[in-house]
Structure 1
C-alpha cells in the first residue's frame, strides 16, 4: 500500500504556492486500485513524482487480487477509481456481468501485451515458421504455425488449453484475434454458456496475470495472453517463448483505461479533472525525451508494492526491447506507449472495437445497429473531461498545445490493413461492416444458442 502523508504534502504545497491555482476539490482523499502489471505505471508515477500532490490529492494505491475484485471495489465505493481493462467499463455499462455505469476519462497506454507458449509447444511450432537470413524466426508469427499442433492434440484426445486474464480483457480479444487470423476457432459465449468455449478448437480460460508463468509451468495451460512483465518472466524462467506481441497484432492498439463510476464524475467533477491532470503528467513523464525516464520507472515498478518483478524482467520491455526465444532480443521501441500517438485520449473508436469483439464472440448475443455502438462508446469514454484537464495543464505551462487532439470527433482515422496481422482494416464508424469482414465470428443476425456455430 502507498499512502501520501497528508501533513507533509500540505506543508510542502503551501510553502511552494502550488495550491494557488488548484481546482476547488470536492474530495481530496482517494483510494485507487491496480493489478500488478507494468501498464499501471501512470498511477505509480503520478504518486511517486508528486503529480497527485501538486493537485492537492492525497492518494492511496492498493494492489488488487484480480480484475473482478477490482471492479467490484469501484462499484461499491471501496475504491474511488482503478487501472482497468478497457472492456470492463463497457461490459459493466451494457450489463455483461455486473451492471454499473463506469466511465473512463483517460486511456492508460497503447500496446504492452504478448502471447506466450510453452517450450514444448514452441518446439512443435518451429518447423512451421519461416526463418530469416539471420537464422531467427520471421515475425510476426501467425497462428497458422499452431494449427498442426492443435490438430495433433485433438487426435490424441487432449484439449488445447490457453490462458487469458478476464473475459472482457484485451488479452482475451487479442488471443482470439490471433487464433482466428490463423484459422483456429477460439469458441463462442452465449447467455446460457459463459465459458466462451462453444465450438472451440482452442479452449481459453481465466488465469490472473501474476499466476500465468506458474500455471504454464505446471502444464495446466499450454500458452497464454497477458501484459508485461509476465511474458518476459516466462523467458527469464526458461519455461516459455513469447510468439507475438500485440504491437505486431495491431500496431498501437489501445490497452488499459482509468475507470471511475459515472456517479463519481458527476459528484466530484473538479476532483476528476485533477486526477486526470496528474495522470496526463505521469504519461508525459514516462514517454518524454525518447523514454529517458524509463529506467527510473522500472526501478519504481519493480518494488513489491507495485509490480514486484525483477528489474531486468520489467526493463526487458519497458526500455524498448523485447525478448522472444531466449537470446532473441529485438528492438521494439513502442512496445509500451503511455503518451505518444495520443495514447491517453479516450477515443470512441477504441471503445467500439472492444464492443465489436464482444459481439463477434457472443458476449453481445444479438445484432446491434451502428448507432448503438456509437451511443455506448459515448456513454463510457469521456474525451470532454480529458480535454478540460489537458486545457488546464496547457494554461499552467505544464503541457504543450500541440500534444492534444482538440478538434477530434472522438474517432481515429481507420486503421489500415497493413497495421493488422490479418490484413483487415478497421473503421470505428462502421462496426457492422467490420464484423462482416472478419472470416470467423458472429455477424449480421447470427446468434449462438448453446450450440456450435462457425461463422
Structure 2
C-alpha cells in the first residue's frame, strides 16, 4: 500500500486526468526480442500511445534474453519486454542479481512445442486419430516411447528452449513431465538442468530455433511465435501442442523495469504503463479486428521481421499444426481480455514453484516466502493507478480491470491443465508436492541424486 499511496500523492485520485502526467524522463529506450508477443510495444509506438503520454520512445531489438536483462540492469535500456521468470530470478539472485519489477503483464498464451518431421512420424503412431486427423491436445505420452527408444540406443534426445527462466523452459518441462519424461534437475553446482534427464534441454535463441531443428542439433523445441509456424511453412517440423492446451490462459511475457527506475521516475512509470495498457486494448478490441494491421506492423524488419503470412497464421485466431491442419484457436494470443495485462501475484508464484520443482531454487521455502517475492516483483498498485487514469480519461472501461482482487487469480481447475493437477497460487508447497515428477518438500539435489 505504501507504493500506491506514494503514487496517489503525485496524482490525486479525485483529479480528472485530462492533461498529461508531468513525466520526469521523457526520452526512453526499450528493448525487445523478435517475437509476436512484443506487440504491445510496437503498437504503443506506432499508434502514438507513448507520445500521448509525453514519452519519446526508441524500440531496440536485442540479441538474446541475457543481453536484454543485463542492459536493463545497467540502465542502457530503460525497460524491456521480458520473460516473466527474469524479474523473479534476478530479484532472488538466480543468475544476475538485481531488483527488477513489473507493473504490466504483456500477454497470455502464445507459445508452442514443435518437433522435427522425423520425430513426428515416430510419435504419430501413438497419437489417437479421428477422421484422419490427430486428436488434440497431444500429450507427451505419445513422445515417451520415442525418447525411450533413443535412450535404449544410447542417443541423447536434445530439445531447445529459449532461456533457463523462460516460460518456454517451464512449459516444455511441464508437458514432458506430464507424460512421464524427466526433463532434468538443476543444482547449486550444475546449472545445465540435465541431472537425471530423459530429454536434454538447452538454450537456443528464438529466431534460430527452426534452423537448429533443420540442422538436426535438436529434435524439438518450445518457443513463441512466429517460430513454430515458421517450421510449418518451411516444412521442417510439426507443432504438436500450444501452451493454451498445456495451461489454458497461462501468463506469458511481462514488461520489466528496475525498482530504482520506478522509484526515481514514478510518473514516467505510470505514463508508460498507461500507453501499454492502451496498446493491449487496441490489439484485442472488437473481436481482434485490428489484428491484420498488427500483423503488418510486426512483419516489418524493425520488429519481428517474419513474413506477414507466417505471423498471421497464429495471430488472427488460428494455429496450424501439421501442414494443412489449421484449427481455430481464438485465444492463442491474448493481450487484453481476461485481465491479461494485470500482474497477478499468482502468476509470479507459479513461476517460482517451477523454479523450485526443478532445483533452480535449491532449498525449501515456506508459502509466505512465495507471497513475499511475488509482491516485491509484481506491482498491481502501479498498474491500477494507471488503469484508473485511463478510465477517468475515457480511454478504457472500468469493467476492463479487476479492482477488487487481492492479486491472486481464482485457482486454475484441473480441467484447464494438461496433467489434470489444479493450481492454487496461495498454496505453493501443496501444489509442488502434488506434481508427479520434481522435487518435493524438503528435497535437495546433491551431485546426481535427490536427497
TM-score range (shorter-chain normalised) is over 0.9
**Maintained 8 Å contact 1:232/1:323:** yes
**Would you say 1:258 and 2:255 are equivalent positions?**
yes
Paired residue secondary structure (2:194): strand
Structure 1 residue aligned with 2:418, among 400, 417, 421?
421
Paired with 2:165 and 2:212, the residues of 1 have a C-alpha distance of 20
1:9 corresponds to which residue? none
Aligned counterparts of 1:63 and 1:299: Cα–Cα separation in 2 = 18
Aligned residues: 435
2:212 to 190, 200, 215: 215
Partner of residue 41, structure 2: 43
Cα shift at 1:202: 0.2
Find the aligned partners of 2:377 and 2:148 in 1 and give their Cα distance: 41
Q: Is the 8 A contact 1:164 1:204 kept in 2?
A: yes
User: Partners of 2:32 and 2:77 in 1: how far apart?
Assistant: 10
- Does the residue aligned with 1:342 lie in a helix, a strand or coil? coil
Within the alignment, does 1:383 sit opposite 2:396 as a pair? Answer: no
Q: Residues of 2 paired with 1:85 and 1:334: CA distance?
A: 20
- State the alpha-carbon separation in 2 of the partners of residues 347 and 147 from structure 1: 34
The equivalent position to 1:137 in structure 2, one of 113, 134, 147, is 134
Q: Deviations over 1:212-231 (max 9, x none)?
A: 00000000000000000000
Q: Is the 8 A contact 2:81 2:254 kept in 1?
A: yes
- Counterpart CA distance in 2 for 1:452 and 1:318 is 43
Is the Cα–Cα contact under 8 Å of residues 157 and 200 in structure 2 kept in the other structure? yes
Structure 2 residue aligned with 1:166: 163
Q: Does 2:200 align with 1:178? A: no
Determine helix, strand or coil for the equivalent of 1:197: coil
The match for 2:55 among 46, 54, 57 is 57
In the alignment, is the contact (CA less than 8 A) between 1:31 and 1:81 conserved in 2? Answer: yes
Asked if the contact 1:273–1:386 (Cα under 8 Å) also holds between the matched residues in 2, the reply is yes
Structure 2 equivalent of residue 125 of structure 1: 123
SS in 2 for 1:163: strand
Distance 2:124 2:398 in 1: 49
Choose which of 342, 351, 356 in structure 2 pairs with 1:359. Answer: 356
What is the Cα deviation at residue 152 of structure 1?
Answer: 1.1
1:69 paired residue among 54, 67, 70: 67
Let me know the Cα RMSD of the aligned residues. 0.8
Q: Secondary structure at the match of 1:375?
A: helix
CA distance in 2, matches of 1:72, 1:310: 30
Q: Distance in 2 between matches of 1:327 and 1:397?
A: 43
Q: What whole-Å deviation, never above 9, does each CA across 1:267-292 have from its counterpart, x for those lacking one?
A: 00000000000000000000000000
Query: SS of the counterpart of 2:201?
Result: strand
TM-score normalized by the length of structure 1 = 0.95
Q: CA separation in 2, counterparts of 1:156 and 1:302? A: 43
Deviation, 1:48, is 0.2
- Offset, 1:430: 0.2
5 Å-filtered alignment, 1:9-408, equals 21-132=19-130, 134-408=131-405
Rounded to whole Å, the distance in 2 between the matches of 1:452 and 1:316 is 44
Q: Which residue in the other structure is 1:3 paired with?
A: none
Give a deviation string over 1:184-230, Cα, whole Å, max 9, x none: 00000001000000000000000000000000000000000000000
Deviation, 1:20, is 6.2
Q: Provide structure 1 residue ranges, at least 5 long, that are not aligned to the other structure.
A: 1-18
Q: CA deviation at 1:452?
A: 3.1
Rounded to whole Å, the distance in 1 between the matches of 2:293 and 2:18 is 30
State the distance in 1 between where 2:194 and 2:136 align: 28
Gaps of 5+ in 2: 1-16
Structure-1 residue corresponding to 2:4: none
The question of whether the paired residues in 1 share the 8 Å contact of 2:18 and 2:393 is answered with no
Counterpart CA distance in 1 for 2:446 and 2:190 is: 9
- Cα distance in 1 for partners of 2:449, 2:115 equals 26
Query: Cα offset for 1:453?
Result: 3.3
- In 1, the alpha carbon distance for the partners of 2:228 and 2:449 equals 32
CA drift of 1:135 comes to 1.2
Alpha carbons 1:199, 1:453 under 8 Å: kept: no
Equivalent position SS for 1:141: coil
> C-alpha displacement at 1:58, in angstroms?
0.1
Offset of 1:154 from its aligned partner?
A: 1.0
The aligned counterpart of 1:440 is 437
Shift of residue 337, structure 1, vs aligned partner: 0.0
Distance 1:360 1:186 in 2: 11
1:295 is displaced (CA, Å) by: 0.2
Q: Secondary structure at the match of 1:317?
A: helix
Q: The residue matched to 1:230 in structure 2 has which SS? A: coil
How far apart in 1 are the matches of 2:386 and 2:225? Answer: 29
